[in-house]
């Protein structure tokens, strides 16, 4: 049942190229995105004034990435919130807005309650859901299914990746319809989307080096994940994965926030993982990494092939293939999943069923 792997998590990590392909390819025909299944006609897409994106845990982290992607590609204002906050904060919801509820299980209590709150206030909802026929899938006005297949490991990997893919489809299509992307940009983005599964596959081939590095850091007390923009979004996910299954205290910070407090936590040997896939933010994040290093941090860099000067700063570097920067999260998340996985294994922990956690959180 584990397909020859020792754990479901590793099996699911390896299923990502296929899961992302299965999510993207039925919705791309002859170089064009085809989303008629969600009955969002072009007029509705043009009239949307604001998006609310809601989820819990990793689904929320997809939302954080989605904010950058939608704002950049479709110039659409986006609010992202964790469901347990959204439902109780008496939010001011604009007319002509759309709520996107992201959930693997479709049964997360707070996410379902947030969806109902949207309906009670007259905001239409779109679910990005993996489990067919689940509560959120049934109650949402429209559903864009992720085709990740059953996910068993508590720490999500392939569901997260397919949720990102669903967001890319939507944001690229919104950009075309709203006129913020011209035909050439649109065609190039669609091409990049089609190339993503292959690039995820390639990223997975760097496993052994990460395993070696993980065995060295298995005894660490703390780890910090930093990045800017989409690299911050993936830092959040990398840090959650890490703490969930390795039981090492970890946090993610927007790199620019380091000097506003968190850097006081850096001691000799503290692991700081810097993510740098966004070309316009590269130098900025490097300078935050240098600051941490000068206070004793050990730096792991995660960047795109070609950025080899990072080796002047980082003690250990992992490279991912080049793609459009909007989609880089799909690649940078892979080494972070592997890092968490291998640290958990090195510590002999229960990778698939970490303590205190459940696969789906159906109580508040």
Residues in touch with ligand M6R (CB under 6 A): 56-59, 103-105, 108, 111, 154-156, 240, 244, 360-361
Measured from the CB of residue 299, what is the shortest distance to ligand M6R in angstroms? 25
Nearest Cα residue to 270 out of 247, 248, 296, 289: 296
Q: Minimum distance between the CB of residue 154 and ligand M6R, rounded to whole angstroms?
A: 5
Task: Compute CA distances 226 → 204, 223, 272, whole Å.
Answer: 22, 10, 7
The residue among 118 and 177 lying less far from ligand M6R, judged by its C-beta, is 118
Which string of DSSP letters, residue by residue, matches 171-196?
HHHHHHHTTSS-HHHHHHHHHHHHHH
Q: CA 284 to CA 240: how far, in whole Å?
A: 24
User: Phi and psi at residue 4, in whole multiples of 5°?
Assistant: 90, -5
Question: Minimum CB separation from ligand M6R for residue 354, in Å?
Answer: 8
Residue with smallest beta-carbon separation from ligand M6R: 57
Give 159 or 272: the residue with its C-beta nearer to ligand M6R: 159
359 noted as active-site residue: yes
Calculate the CA 272 to chain-centre distance. 19
**Cβ closer to ligand M6R: 146 or 317?**
146
Catalytic residue selected from 243, 284, 353, 359: 359
Q: How far apart are CA 359 and CA 105, in angstroms?
A: 8
Q: Judged by CB, which is closer to ligand M6R: 56, or 115?
A: 56
- Measured CA angle at 331 (ends 285, 192), to 5 deg: 110
Q: Could you give the CA distance from residue 299 to residue 297 in angstroms, rounded to a whole number?
A: 6
Helix (H, G, I), strand (E, B) or coil at 261: coil
CA distance 150 to 148: 7
- By C-alpha distance, which of 3, 54, 106, 58 is closest to 357? 58
Is the Cβ of residue 107 or residue 173 nearer to ligand M6R in the bound state? 107
Q: What does the alpha-carbon distance between residue 279 and residue 151 come to, in Å, rounded to a whole number?
A: 33
Please report how close the Cβ of residue 317 comes to ligand M6R at its closest, in angstroms: 25
Minimum distance, C-beta of residue 174 to ligand M6R, in the bound complex (Å):
22
The least distance separating ligand M6R from the CB of residue 96, rounded to whole angstroms, comes to 27
Nearer of residues 34 and 364 to ligand M6R, judged by Cβ: 364
Active site residues: 359
């Amino acid at each position: 049942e584990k397909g020859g792997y020792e754990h479901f998590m590793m099996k699911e990590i390896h299923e990502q190229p296929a899961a992302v392909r299965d999510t993207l390819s039925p919705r791309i025909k002859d170089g064009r995105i085809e989303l008629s299944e969600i009955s969002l006609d072009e007029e509705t897409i043009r009239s949307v004034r604001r998006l609310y994106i809601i989820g819990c845990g990793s689904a929320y982290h997809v939302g954080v990435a989605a904010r950058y992607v939608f704002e950049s590609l479709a110039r659409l204002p986006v609010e992202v919130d964790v469901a347990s906050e959204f439902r109780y904060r008496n939010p001011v919801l604009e007319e002509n807005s759309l709520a996107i509820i992201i959930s693997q299980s479709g049964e997360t209590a707070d996410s379902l309650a947030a969806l109902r709150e949207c309906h009670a206030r007259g905001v239409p909802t779109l679910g990005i859901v993996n489990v067919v026929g689940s509560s959120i899938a049934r109650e949402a006005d429209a559903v864009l299914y992720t085709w990740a297949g059953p996910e068993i490991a508590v720490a999500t990997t392939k569901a997260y990746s397919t949720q990102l893919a669903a967001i890319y489809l939507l944001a690229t299509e919104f950009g075309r319809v709203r006129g913020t992307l011209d035909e050439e940009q649109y065609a190039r983005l669609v091409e990049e989307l089609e190339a993503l599964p292959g690039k995820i596959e390639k990223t997975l081939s760097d496993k052994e080096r990460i395993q070696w590095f993980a065995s060295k850091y298995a005894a660490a007390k703390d780890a910090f994940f930093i990045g800017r923009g989409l690299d911050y979004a993936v830092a959040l996910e990398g840090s959650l994965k890490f703490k969930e299954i390795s039981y090492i205290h970890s946090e993610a910070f927007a790199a620019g926030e380091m000097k506003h407090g968190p850097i006081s936590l850096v001691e000799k040997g503290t692991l700081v993982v810097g993510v740098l896939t966004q070309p316009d933010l590269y130098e900025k994040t490097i300078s935050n990494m240098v600051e941490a290093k000068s206070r004793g941090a050990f730096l792991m860099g995660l960047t795109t092939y070609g950025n080899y000067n990072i080796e002047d700063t980082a003690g250990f570097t992992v490279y991912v293939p080049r793609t459009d920067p909007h989609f880089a999260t799909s690649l940078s998340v892979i080494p972070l999943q592997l890092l968490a996985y291998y640290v958990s294994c090195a510590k002999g922990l229960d990778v698939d069923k970490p303590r205190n956690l459940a696969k789906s959180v159906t109580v508040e």
